[in-house]
Amino acid sequence: MENKIEDILDKEIDKLRRFSNKINPQKIYELPIEQSRKIAKESILPFTLKNEKSTSYVEHELFFGNEEAIKIRVYSADRKDYQTGIVFFHGGGYVLYDVDVYHSLCEFISEACNSKVIFVEYRKPPYYEIVNTYQDCKNTLDWVVLNKLFLGIDNIVLMGDSVGGNLVLKTFQESEKNIDLIVLCYPVLSWNFTNLSYQKYGEGYFLDQKLMEWFKRISFGHLNDDELKKYNFTFFNEEIPNLILISSEFDVLRDESFIFQMQLQSQNSKSVHLHFENMGHNFLLMAGRFNSAKDALIKICNQLNIHINQLNHERKIKNQN
């Protein structure tokens, strides 16, 4: 017998899902952009982590040519030795969220993984074209690579959640391939909404199909289908280094991750797939309210540490030779 959804989805998160659907009759994709951003931010902040210990950080503004400054925030764990640098591209459909929403998550990852987390406040549509968004991510990675000594890092990890995962793959594709590890958290890998997971979870599960269509319209509405293909990564032909793929069951994006993972396996790529059967989209931003979401975050950080320790070991052997 097939299990009922409410028997599988974490019960507290399911309560939130039902409550949100009941009290929020007006969807953010029906509102002006600034109002949408305000509501999205105010809605998610109460569920983010509340860390007992604050992590130190430094903010920088990076200038490239005549472009506007890219604002980044560098979180540093309380260690003096060289650390791994995790360049983090955030989710929100390219349109929503900012460093305030991800502050405590970046703190947690920095401390849990003894790493420096470089959060990128990229330019967002509709006030900027989507090419600016991707260029900000590419420019930031280039800056990190050139300033490893200044930052005090050895290894470089590219990490992103939701559309941040799309930004990660596009940035990697256009980079010099000097990335040691890629981490994709429930990534947007396609702008095709025909998968079964869209049919099952396309309404009422935190990330609606209509919201995805709104994101697509704002960011890519000016592109034709052929031009949009370069932002689709379900089938990715680049040789990928170590990779951690995270997916959640109750998510319209679920099937994209499984297709992507099957492709990686066929290429004999070094990848680990963590699938959370009881989670929905955006669960990393709910780790402050739900124990199950925090447990999932801890598992992700533990897997990150396994990879980081292996990278450190390989680098140590290389330096000895």
pLDDT in tens, 207-258: 999 999 999 999 999 999 899 999 999 888 888 879 999 999 999 999 999 9
What is d(CA 265, CA 113) in angstroms, rounded to the nearest whole number?
27
Q: Provide the whole-model pTM.
A: 0.94
Contact 48, 287 (CB under 8 A): yes
CB atoms within 10 A of CB 78: 10
Contact 273, 257 (CB under 8 A): yes
The confidence score (pLDDT) of residue 2 equals 45
Comparing 4-18, 51-65, 78-92, 98-112, the range with the smallest average pLDDT is 4-18
Which range marks the domain in which residue 242 is found? 5-320
Please name every residue paired with 51 in a beta bridge, in sequence order, or none if there are none.
Answer: none
Query: How many CA atoms lie within 13 Å of 13's alpha carbon, on the beta-carbon side?
Result: 31
What is d(CA 145, CA 62) in angstroms, rounded to the nearest whole number?
14
Domain containing residue 118: CATH number: 3.40.50.1820
Return the DSSP state at 63: -
Phi-psi map region of 188: left, alpha, beta (phi>0 left; psi -120 to 50 alpha):
beta
The confidence score (pLDDT) of residue 15 equals 73
Q: Where are the beta strands (DSSP E) in the chain?
A: 56-62, 70-76, 83-89, 115-121, 153-161, 181-185, 242-250, 271-280
Comparing 58-67, 98-107, 179-188, the range with the smallest average pLDDT is 58-67
pLDDT digits (tens, 9 = 90+) for 180-205: 999 999 999 999 999 999 999 998 88
Per the structure, the count of domains in the chain is 1
